[in-house]
Structure 1
Amino acid sequence: MNKEEILNELLQYFINENRDVHINSIPSDYKEKRNLLRALMNIREPEPIDSKILKLQDELLKEETVNRNPVDPCKLPTIAEAFKGRSIPFSEKLVLWQGDIISISADAIVNAANSKLLGCFVPLHRCIDNAIHSAAGVELRLECDEIMENQGFDEPTGLSKITKAYNLPSKYILHTVGPIIDDKLTKEDCRMLSSCYTSCLNKASEYSDIKTIAFCCISTGEFRFPKDKASQIAVESVCNWLRENPERFDRIIFNVFTGEDYNEYAKLFR
């Protein structure tokens, strides 16, 4: 089967299994069809799935991952190389990289999750949680559901869980729930954000095959944590952790998506 034939079969399956979704016709344009598939995956509950369909989904997503030309984190310039002449602790390990986190082949990437830990159910939402689950595949929601069923309660702010990365170029995903800012920023908000970074590093350090880890900008999107303070906490938390564990990890990447986020980190490193 070619790529479009696979896409058509996946669409038919996801439409047929969800009787609450009413779609009059499937678009003819490939991009529109692909967006429809992503939307159907976004709203799908963590239910068992036909193994044949899962295999087709994996084939499609793996090809898309390859086509993104995954970035090798060890080939990215470190802070020591990019910001020469600046005295930054552990600058030979730290990296500032602007790009899409689903396109980096770090051993582990960090997902800014919500307390249900099942991913974003809003079709085609632009949050990182949606992007990661969409690119990883429905297996990720199934594993997260199993974790949460065993836990029996919502994921607390500031902690982390680890899963496989499935169809992403990474091996693992670290899921952490950052603080939500509804009013003024508090010391407790800052402490909880720092805990997100520390918890992810602690969890990742339990796995000997995790040598590189890419952090997203936790809580600065939908959760409204001020970007300037969040970047400061991120760098300080990682450096403080490395002071206690100086031999751990080859690269820790601060992954940013926008120029605004990049500039906040760059100010610190300059």
Structure 2
Amino acid sequence: MPNLHIIEGDITLATVDAIVNAADPMLLGGGGVDGAIHQAAGPTLLSECLKIKAVRKIRCPVGEARITAAGNLASRYVIHTVGPKYHREEQPQKLLAAAYRQSLSLALENNCQSIAFPAISCGAYGYPIREAAEVAIQTCLADEFKNIDILFYLYGQKNYSIWQSVLDKKNR
């Protein structure tokens, strides 16, 4: 079973091998966690993102992930993933699970032993927090990810409590 932890705190301060960025498809930085990660990482992160070839103005499609160096962050890598916009996608749970799975697979391919996730799609993309927690935690509990430490960094006590309750329920 993977080693999962729920933390209330700032993901940009995580001391892990890879920090996951809830990005937009162009990987240009933006608001929310994406903007915070880009700001903390410095201009090197945007330069790294711009090296990723865009196809029809998209560097990372919904449900996929890309990896770059981490700039000024304490991690070695930033894994950029694009979650679904909850009310726009037919099967948002499938795309959200794919975003977590792709991020974890990239981390393992790059010999990462630890990874920090935000609550992907729960901000401006409108994904309900409890439902997102259930999809994320269920995906991360897969046997293929048992050898990586997974930390979920949540903003605010309310979000932390919801994610912790979902994890506690799964551990029963």
Q: Same fold (TM over 0.5)?
A: yes
SS for the counterpart of 2:122 is: coil
Q: 2:100 matched to which residue of 1?
A: 197
> What amino acid maps onto 2:29 in structure 1?
G
Given that residues 101 and 140 in structure 2 are in contact (C-alpha distance below 8 angstroms), is that contact kept between their aligned partners in structure 1?
Answer: yes
The Cα of 1:264 is off from its aligned counterpart by 1.1
Alignment pair present for 1:148 and 2:53 = yes
| Structure 1 residues 163-202: aligned runs within 5 Å | 163-182=68-87, 186=90, 188-202=91-105
Alignment pair present for 1:260 and 2:158 = yes
Give, in whole Å, the separation in 1 of the partners of 2:33 and 2:126. 14
The one-character-per-residue Cα deviations of 1:93-134 (angstroms, maximum 9, x if unpaired) are 1111110001111110100000111111xxxx4x01100101
Q: Relative contact order: is structure 1 or structure 2 higher (C-alpha 8 Å, sep ≥ 6)?
A: 2
Unmatched 5+ stretches in structure 1: 1-88
Given that residues 117 and 148 in structure 1 are in contact (C-alpha distance below 8 angstroms), is that contact kept between their aligned partners in structure 2?
Answer: no
The one-character-per-residue Cα deviations of 1:61-116 (angstroms, maximum 9, x if unpaired) are xxxxxxxxxxxxxxxxxxxxxxxxxxxx54xx111111000111111010000011
Give, in whole Å, the separation in 1 of the partners of 2:35 and 2:17. 20
SS for the counterpart of 1:214 is: strand
SS for the counterpart of 1:97 is: strand
Alignment pair present for 1:96 and 2:6 = yes
- Please provide the CA RMSD for this pair: 1.6
> What amino acid maps onto 2:144 in structure 1?
E
Taking structure 2 as the reference length, what is the TM-score of the superposition? 0.91
Give, in whole Å, the separation in 2 of the partners of 1:233 and 1:265. 11
Taking structure 1 as the reference length, what is the TM-score of the superposition? 0.59
Give, in whole Å, the separation in 1 of the partners of 2:145 and 2:99. 17
Which stretches of structure 1, 4 residues or more, deviate above 3 A after TM superposition?
A: none
Query: How many residues are paired up?
Result: 167
Give, in whole Å, the separation in 2 of the partners of 1:101 and 1:233. 20
Q: 2:140 matched to which residue of 1?
A: 238
Unmatched 5+ stretches in structure 2: none
> What amino acid maps onto 1:201 in structure 2?
L
Q: 2:18 matched to which residue of 1?
A: 108
Distance 1:258 1:147, change over 3 A: same
Given that residues 116 and 148 in structure 1 are in contact (C-alpha distance below 8 angstroms), is that contact kept between their aligned partners in structure 2?
Answer: no
Give, in whole Å, the separation in 2 of the partners of 1:160 and 1:269. 24
**Percent sequence identity over matched residues?**
34
Given that residues 137 and 167 in structure 2 are in contact (C-alpha distance below 8 angstroms), is that contact kept between their aligned partners in structure 1?
Answer: no
| Structure 1 residues 22-41: aligned runs within 5 Å | none
> What amino acid maps onto 1:96 in structure 2?
I
Rg larger for: 1
The Cα of 1:203 is off from its aligned counterpart by 0.7
SS for the counterpart of 2:127 is: coil
The Cα of 1:256 is off from its aligned counterpart by 0.5
Give, in whole Å, the separation in 2 of the partners of 1:245 and 1:130. 28
The structure with the greater share of residues assigned to strand is 2
